[in-house]
Structure 1
Amino acid sequence: MFVAHYRSKDKEIQSVRKHLLDAQYLAEHYGAKLNVRYMAGLAALLHDLGKYSEHFQLYLSQAVFKQENPKFKKGEVDHATAGAKLLFELYYTKSSSPYEKLLVEIVGNAIISHHGNLHDFISPKHDSDFLRRMTKEVPQYKNVVESFFEEVMTEAEFEDYVGKAVKEMEQFVPFNGKLSFFLSKFIFSCVLDADRTNTRDFEAGVVSNVPPKNKAKFEKYYHVLMDYLKTLKEKPEASHPINILRAKMSDQCDRFAEKPSGVYTLSIPTGGGKTLASLRYALKHAKDKEKDRVIYIVPYTTIIEQNAQEVRDKLGAADDILEHHSNIIDETVWDKKDVGDEFEEGSHTKQQTLKLMKDDFSAPIIFTTMVQFLNIFYAKGNRNTRRLHNLSNAVIIFDEVQKVPLNCVSLFNEAINFLSGQAKSSILLCTATQPALDSVQYRLVKGEDSEIIANLAEVELAFKRVDIIDKTKPKMNNQNLASWLNDNLEGWENALVILNTKRAVKELYETLKDNEVDVFHLSTSMCAAHRKDQLEEIKKRLKEDTPFICVTTALIEAGVDISFKCVVRSLAGLDSIAQAAGRCNRHGEADVRDVYVIDHSEESLGYLKEIEAGKDAAQNVIAYNKRNENNDKLLSHKMMQDYFDAFYKAREVDLNYPISKLNNINMTTLLLKSRHKNYVKDYIAKHQQPYPFILSSSLRTGADHFNVIDSPTQAMIVPYGEGKTIIAELESNERIEDLSRLFKQAQQYTVNVYPHELRNLKNANAIVPHFDGGVWSLRERWYSKQYGIDLAGEGEMEEMIF
């Protein structure tokens, strides 16, 4: 028997035939959502064809049974090329149709790449990694193919199956670079998930099945939500004009849910009940249109827990909600050690077991971040891409969509256009400050009547809560700011101060603390559970009307339901100022309160180019409104559109993700162009022969150079509260289900650190590696109850003070 896997606990065998057919079954189900059932199934059917070689069988046996003096070294036997080579030899000939060739290029790339990233058709060095793999000599290739046709399907059956896949390929007319990229990623996602899921199920001793439909669950949750909203209408305060307006906007969301799938905007002002209104749309649309899941995309990990908890409480849906904060597992460490996919060889160390964990976005309701969403499409690492097919036939809600990173605007728009146009998903863009995403080169495609809320100008007027006070001149340093806050706090009673950098926040906190002012500190150096505890204490103090100040970064501007009597915002983009204003007089406790905009002289924005650009644009808008005595309309929908139009126009060169290490070529050119003319021309000149393929995108190069933020962060499990117990359990859990539970709990106790912070912590021996450095935890003395991760290593002393 040809063996695909040995189960680690009992050495039970899964045959190659069984694995290929099981993976094909799953991939067909995944692909059907895009009407590419046979294309996805073909990729899965052939992905492990090379395991039919005697070389691989010996290689696998050596790895599992730890034979001495093995004939083959780790990674020496290639089992991923054979399947793609079979397609290439049969369907990439002079007589092959363009659709047969496109099928080979897209499906073949998924097959050869299923242990890494999709290959370049042309690289920046003007070579073709894809061609190299297609023409690579595969030992025992003839025997491998014969075994496949004997065990899995006959040649006639295979020809018929490929013919069905070609028919699916023919539906994509006209075919362009954007479509080829997203279709390649989608097929790749299907084969990755089918392979990983079947391998995991075999290891766990269960049968691989497609997930059940969620229509009944969405029906149930919709009625639960409607019953809750009905109780709100029965309360005495329901007759308040603002609550009547909230109910009307919620009703409008319900009616819009009856419309076909598309891209819609929901511009409910701050305090208008956006979370429940969008949930009402999502549940009704999901049940009526039979969508597979509801996915909330938020800008920061800091607000996942609050939004998810609100939905969980209202629906009673604890078992059906996934909170995906970040990737706790650092796969780059394993990639460097060449152990990332070693589970395929059956040895199943702890880090390889982690690779099999359920990480596929199959839950009915999912909360994740904008970073993770963009990573699914563009980043390297097949844990990211594996989730892509589950974004199809879904309702996807983007909360605070104005936070799309500037350099990713075009890439975001094209991903949304694909999900809406080809992948049958409905998109809801939620924010009180809608960005002008349809005014850029790679524009977002929306319908004419895409805004859900009618009479926006009237709604904005009804929800006016604050006056914006320009206090940008003269500039203030922390000492000036602290003195001004101290002088005015008695009249305000409480104040929220939002600055642009963690360093400025910490230094202001220290200055205010020295002046014996009651002061709270919040930053992303704290884990979610820590911030939640701090916010609960702050809310308690707000009810007591005790004078105090809270200093924080922008983390409080989205998804945090809190209301101060005064807000001070360091100058940033107009959308940030509007979001900050939403934390002042949020529930209309007074007629109008003041939000002050200051210009902080000690914030270092050298590495925060986007904040700096937004600051410049906002300053111009504020000055214009001041000259025209138009300050009451500064945060209007119209003014926000004008601001974003100007902001995007001024930063147009940045919108398409320029790659500085590749002479500023844009990611859009590298991935989404129909034909990379310069690369093709240089390829022909270098090799003195025609370029051999239809597609010319540099998929691996694009993934290698993509980071949503310039310095990608790594999640660190910290010793706060339950985090201490989780860290203690890390080394004692090996079963997949135990690790899945542990990492789900750990999401609340992680902090994302930048590379330089990680280096400093390593050098100070402040962190502990787990699973060969795939997961990191922080030593206890390096976590402070005041600051979170404390690079000074004084956390233990501070805990004693508390």
Structure 2
Amino acid sequence: MITFVEIIPELEDLLPATAATPTYLGHTSQRANVKDETLTDHVRLVHKYFGHLAKAHDLEAVVDNLITTLLASYGLSPERFTEVGSHIKKLFVAALAFHDFGKTNPNYQRQSLSNLEWPGGEHPVPFYPSKGHSELGAFLYVHYFLPHAFGQPEREVKSLLMQLTFGLSYSICQHHAKGQFELADYGKRKMQEWYQPQWFNQVKYFIELYGFDPTPLPVNRWDKWTGTVLKLVELANPAPYALHSLIKLNFSLLTASDYLATSDYMNQTPLDDFGVIGDTLRQKIVDKAKSSVDYNAAIFAAAADLDFELTFPTARTNDNLNLLRKEMAVEALRTLDRYPDDRIYYLEAPTGGGKTNISMLVAARLLERDPTLNKLLYVFPFTTLATQTLGALKEVYGLEAHEVAEIHGKASYQSVKEERERTEVDATYGSEREDHLRYLFFHFPVALVTHVRFFNWLTTHWKEPNYVYHRLAGSVVILDELQAYDPKHWAKVARYLDHLGRHFNCRFVIMSATLPKLDALLPREVRGTYSFRELISDAQRYLRNPNFAGRVQFEFDLLYDERGNRRTISLEDLSGHVREQAENYRRGTNQRGVFVIVEFIFKLSAAQFQRLFAQDDYFDEVHLLSGTILEPQRRLIINRLKRAETRLCRVLLITTQVVEAGVDLDMDIGFKHVSLPDSDEQLAGRVNRNVKKEGCRLWLFYSGDDPKVIYGNDFRYQHLAKKRNQDSLNHQELHKSLLRDKSFNELYKHVFGFINGLEDTPGLKDIITYERHLQELDFVKAHEEFQLIEGRNETVFVPLRIPFAVPGSTADSIDLLFTPDELSFLGGLGVDVTGDTLDGGEVFTAYLNVIHPPEVEDEKRKRDFIRDQNNYRRMAAILSRFSFSLMSTKELLFHLVQFCDTDKSAYGYHYLQHFREVYSLTDGLDQDKFDRGINNIM
């Protein structure tokens, strides 16, 4: 196929002559010493940044891959394949060239750019606003390329080229809008508008200006012609993911290149760091992974030693436990070395087996083997997991602050200014601009994000998050705990990951102790080219090994009677069992202290259970941890449980499901309200986490919290509920075997049956419908119908006082809740930072000042816009320490607003003005002040 380098000069030749009078400008600057930028210069600068991005992320190969897939089923000869593929590639690049061709609109030159070379008065144009340029550029693009599509001999090729011509013109039309929406609707509307004689006659001026053929198609047959085009555009393409990706990638590159080129001109500062892993950082990651920790050095040595054999010891000893961890890592590295070209790897390993460490070694090996891989992403369901893993990455890889970033709503803002001391005003602004670009375009070589953010990048139709889409190319992506989300999306996940692996040169490592093998959800014809490879060939040998399986014993006597029927236990009876078993454990292990965890589904039950221990004389400490507990209290509790002196105490931790996978705890025994088996297994991971204790047990119970409220639509829940209704005794045995034998694959096989339509479910219909949205380029539905977290959440801000720091996890240590930079930032906004606590009310007032900055002069607007954007990101992280989220319902909102300040609640948060009546730092939200029927708070 033709190359990007060959295409660009041909497109630039279409621009009006640079010596044309009046001059066509691209941008103007408020700086006195900066010359106006011509339209030609801007387009060339956009092409320059397009070239930089394409080189940094090897995007030419990605585009070639997508085009190859689009044409694969058409049976074209090699010559014809090259011809059509080259034209599609030209269409792709031309969208960037044409994106500002509409700036030749005299109204735009005079009114938007104040180009005085152009006379005043309105030039007649048929689009709105009359000074716009995006729609004109889209029209010129379609007008120039559509005749070529219409002249293709093959109906399928004709349809594809028309669809791409309109799809890529949509990138042009929307490059200053908030995002992309429905292409089908766009195509119908524009075809009906653009090629009506009245509309067309007003734009002939621009067609002739560029030297295009003004009558390339039979203008006397508009209606018939447009009808034919629309029918062809709507023909389905057999490669929906490739079609969708090509348009999304184009929109990402067009808007990113345009933004970076404009920023370059406005600030007279080129950008040359695009946040990738270069040779120096790559070598550091590889070397450190092999040497920074003695244990890992031994793993790499053993993996290379042909005489090192896997032994799978079963005797329960600490030495054997460490040997098993080593053998899992060695097997993973050896498998990777045997199958380096696979795209998706499973890492299934038991809790306590060192999955995170193995994943870091695997990622380092992937980076070592393939220099085209130049980004590393860790993707988690919970922000707490991201925070924990950040420390491990810094230790194992030796990463510095500017090389790795934790990107989520609770992560502190990371500024270049903190990394490199700047003193001059221009240098300070330079660092702020660099910060702005790094966060906007995600220019971080190594990053930790949430599942929600990652999959949003794959489907979003909004412009700003789509900036990142092109950066996915060449990424190593570690996906942790994917089973945490509704199985109805698993087929979409499987197909998106397979698509990215094949076309974007991505490598995925999917890891969990309860891992669904998603390749079972791919069509048979898709499997095989690149396999989903198991890094550990028979994970059951480890999952069932006594060193891991014996870590926690599941107990069912509180949950089932002898007939297999589910029991309902009162909270009072449960409290008695908790005390009894805590004492049994303490005596059996001859310890002074005991750590007990009791988990409920909903906060209301957890709070009621906590009250039973209000005057307790057995436990020394009783803590409540729920979704309404703020970050400072959560960290205080977790740190307290990690301190050596606390191990001498009898501690009861009462929680909701917020602790299952994401809180670093090591409890002795546990009690859990039954929900989903893999959820039960996740809580077991908080008991005997370090696999060094004996006699650790987890009792399952049912006290009335209805799992159906949360999991009613989950195929796992539906399958087990069906089994329970058919045969309670058989269901009991199934439940026990899942948890005792770690046979989660048996459960997942039934789930896959639901999804694939083998049972009476809408699973298969769902994926067919979803892929139709991709084929039709319905960007809105493609995004809305793939939401990992469905429903709306309400974020509540609590304006209480919060300390700067809490006691750390070791003696005499402290855990900073706010960084020095954050405190300095707040002080600059008028918040009192002279003591050791922050007033939430003052912090929220500062937030309001950030989102409603004072009016500024034109010459300061650009600087202040960037500063305001950076300040907003800083404030979002700070406000998260004062905030919690709730699942939104009408009933909840009705009660919540009674305690909130309505005026202050108009800016993204419910401001809990009267928090003293309904909230406390230690107990969270008091549901007794709400309707008793509201029981979906976790």
Scaled to the shorter chain, the TM-score interval is 0.7 to 0.9
| Equivalent position of 1:688 in the other structure | none
Correspondent of 2:696 among 593, 597, 600: 593
- Residue 739 of structure 2 corresponds to which residue in structure 1? 634
Contact 1:563 1:586 in 2 (8 A): yes
Kindly indicate whether residue 395 of structure 2 is the aligned counterpart of residue 302 of structure 1: no
Aligned residue number for residue 34 of structure 1: 62
SS in 2 for 1:92: helix
Conserved in 2, the CA contact under 8 Å of 1:490 and 1:547?
A: no
CA distance in 1, matches of 2:201, 2:405: 44
SS in 1 for 2:352: coil
Q: Which of 95, 98, 112 is the equivalent residue of 1:43?
A: 95
Asked whether the 8 Å contact 2:346–2:532 carries over to 1, the reply is no
Alignment partners' CA distance in 2, 1:138 and 1:479: 79
CA distance in 2, matches of 1:656, 1:312: 49
- Asked whether the equivalents of residues 675 and 707 of structure 2 are also in contact (C-alpha less than 8 Å), the reply is no
Asked whether the 8 Å contact 2:597–2:652 carries over to 1, the reply is yes
Amino acid at match of 2:578: L
Give the corresponding residue for 1:508. Answer: 609
Q: Deviations over 1:741-783 (max 9, x none)?
A: 762574375244544567876664448869x937887769577
Letter in 2 for 1:211: F
Give the drift of 1:392.
Answer: 1.6
Give, in angstroms, the shift of residue 397 of structure 1: 0.9
Q: Which runs of structure 2 are paired with 1:636-655 in the superposition (5 Å)?
A: 636=741, 639-650=743-754
User: d(CA) in 2 for partners of 1:666 and 1:784?
Assistant: 44
Q: Return closer, same or farther for 1:530/1:652 CA change in 2, 3 Å cut-off.
A: farther
Whole-angstrom distance in 2 between the partners of 1:785 and 1:532: 12
Secondary structure in structure 2 of the residue aligned to 1:428 = strand
Matches within 5 A, 1:587-626: 587-603=690-706, 605-606=708-709, 608-610=711-713, 613-614=716-717, 617=720, 620=723
Judge conservation of contact 2:374–2:445 (CA < 8 Å) in 1: yes
In the TM superposition, what is the alpha-carbon distance from 1:600 to its structure 2 partner?
A: 3.0
Partner of 1:158: none
- How far 1:59 sits from its partner (Å)? 4.2
Name which of 252, 261, 269 aligns with 1:206: 269
Alpha-carbon distance, 1:189 to partner: 2.0
How many residues are paired up?
716
The answer to whether the 8 Å contact 1:495/1:564 transfers is: yes
Match of 1:154 in 2: none
Following superposition, the deviation at residue 521 of structure 1 comes to 2.0
The answer to whether residue 651 in structure 2 is matched with residue 548 in structure 1 is: yes
Would you say 1:60 and 2:121 are equivalent positions? no
Task: Check if 1:669 corresponds to 2:778.
Answer: no
Deviation of residue 178 (structure 1)? 2.8
Among 325, 334, 358, the residue aligned to 1:246: 325
Residue by residue, what CA displacement relative to the aligned partner does 1:457-500 show, whole Å, maximum 9, x if unpaired? 32121312111111224213444433432443333422112222
Contact 1:519 1:551 in 2 (8 A): yes
Q: In structure 2, what is the Cα distance between the partners aligned to 1:718 and 1:32?
A: 50
CA contact (8 A) 2:180 2:463 kept: no
Find the counterpart in structure 2 of residue 122 from structure 1. 184
- The 5-angstrom pairing of residues 154-165 of structure 1 reads none
Q: Counterpart of 1:569?
A: 672
Matching of residue 476 in structure 1 with residue 569 in structure 2: yes
Deviation at 1:323, TM superposition (A): 1.7
1:298–1:304 Cα contact (<8 Å) kept: yes
Deviation at 1:452, TM superposition (A): 0.7
Which residue number corresponds to residue 217 of structure 1? 281
Q: Which amino acid in the other structure matches residue 17 of structure 1?
A: T
- Could you tell me which residue of structure 2 aligns to residue 85 of structure 1? 139
Residue equivalent to 1:773: 907
The structure-2 alpha-carbon separation of the partners of 1:219 and 1:491, relative to structure 1 and needing over 3 Å to count, comes to same
Q: Residues 744 and 367 of structure 1: is their aligned pair in 2 closer, same or farther, counting only changes over 3 Å?
A: farther
The aligned residue for residue 191 of structure 1 is 254
Deviation, 1:284, is 2.1
The answer to whether 1:178 aligns with 2:257 is no
Which structure exhibits the higher relative contact order, with contacts defined as CA atoms closer than 8 Å and separated by 6 or more residues? 1
**Cα distance in 1 between the residues matched to 2:648 and 2:787:** 44
Q: Structure 1 stretches of 5 or more lacking a match? A: 64-68, 151-172, 329-351, 675-694, 795-802
Query: Which stretch has the larger CA shift, 533-542 or 455-464?
Result: 533-542
Cα distance in structure 2, aligned partners of 1:713 and 1:70: 48
1:112 has 2:173 as partner: yes
Q: Which amino acid aligns with 2:324?
A: L
- 5+ residue gaps, structure 2, are 1-22, 65-88, 116-120, 213-235, 300-315, 412-432, 560-565, 586-593, 805-816, 827-842, 854-863, 931-938
Asked if 1:495 is matched to 2:574, the reply is no
The equivalent residue for 1:229 is 293
Q: Deviations over 1:574-593 (max 9, x none)?
A: 21111111111122222342
Q: Which residue of 2 aligns with 1:412?
A: 493
Show the counterpart of 2:922: 786
Structural mapping, 1:664-743, within 5 Å: 666=766, 668-672=768-772, 696-703=776-783, 707-713=787-793, 720=802, 721=804, 725=823, 727=843, 730=847, 731=849, 734=864, 736=866, 739-740=869-870, 743=873
Instruction: Report if the CA contact (8 A) 1:406-1:610 is conserved.
Output: no
Report the CA distance between 1:55 and its aligned residue.
2.0
Maintained 8 Å contact 2:289/2:296: no
1:303 partner amino acid: L
The root-mean-square deviation of aligned C-alpha atoms, in Å, is 4.6
Amino acid at match of 2:744: M
1:249 aligned partner, one-letter code: M
Sort the Cα spacing of 1:458 and 1:193 in 2 relative to 1 into closer, same or farther, 3 A. Answer: same
* Contact 1:34-1:424 at 8 Å conserved across structures: yes
Q: Cα gap change, 1:667/1:448 in structure 2, threshold over 3 Å: closer, same or farther?
A: closer
Counterpart CA distance in 2 for 1:735 and 1:238 is 60
Distance in 1 between residues matched to 2:250 and 2:275, nearest whole Å: 21
Q: Verify: 1:95 aligned to 2:175, yes or no.
A: no
Identity between Structure 1 and Structure 2 (%): 17
Contact 1:52 1:148 in 2 (8 A): no
The residue identity in structure 2 corresponding to 1:295 is: L
Instruction: Supply the AA of the counterpart residue of 2:108.
Output: F
Match of 1:467 in 2: 553
- Distance in 2 (alpha carbons) for counterparts of 1:10 and 1:665: 61
SS in 1 for 2:701: strand
Question: Which residue does the alignment assign to 1:360?
Answer: 441
Deviation, 1:601, is 0.4
Tell me the CA shift for residue 116 of structure 1: 3.2
Which whole-Å deviations, capped at 9, do the CAs of 1:394-426 have from their partners, x for residues lacking one?
A: 111110121233232222122101111111101
TM-score norm. by structure 2 comes to 0.67
Letter in 1 for 2:285: Y
Query: What SS is found at the alignment partner of 2:702?
Result: strand
Alpha-carbon distance in structure 1 between the residues aligned to 2:898 and 2:548: 51
> Which of 305, 323, 334 is the aligned partner of 2:406?
323
Pick closer, same or farther for the CA change 1:454–1:441 going to 2, 3 Å: closer
The 2-side partners of 1:195 and 1:467 are apart by: 59
Letter of the structure 1 residue corresponding to residue 598 of structure 2: V
Match of residue 17 from structure 1: 40
Cα separation, 2, equivalents of 1:139 and 1:497:
75
CA distance in 2 between counterparts of 1:426 and 1:777 reads 43
> Deviation string for 1:281-302 (max 9, x for gaps)?
1122123212120111111233
Deviations 1:193-232 (A, max 9, x none): 2233334444554214462641421220222222233257
Q: 1:121 to 1:257 in 2, by over 3 A?
A: same
The aligned amino acid for 2:43 is L
Distance 1:174 1:536, change over 3 A: same
Give the letter for the 2:188 counterpart.
S
Pick closer, same or farther for the CA change 1:232–1:613 going to 2, 3 Å: closer
| Length-normalised TM-score, structure 1 | 0.77
Q: Distance in 1 between matches of 2:642 and 2:166?
A: 57
Q: Alpha carbons of 1:602 and 1:457: their partners in 2 closer, same or farther (altered >3 Å)?
A: closer
- Between stretches 757-766 and 304-313, larger displacement belongs to 757-766
Tell me the CA shift for residue 427 of structure 1: 0.9
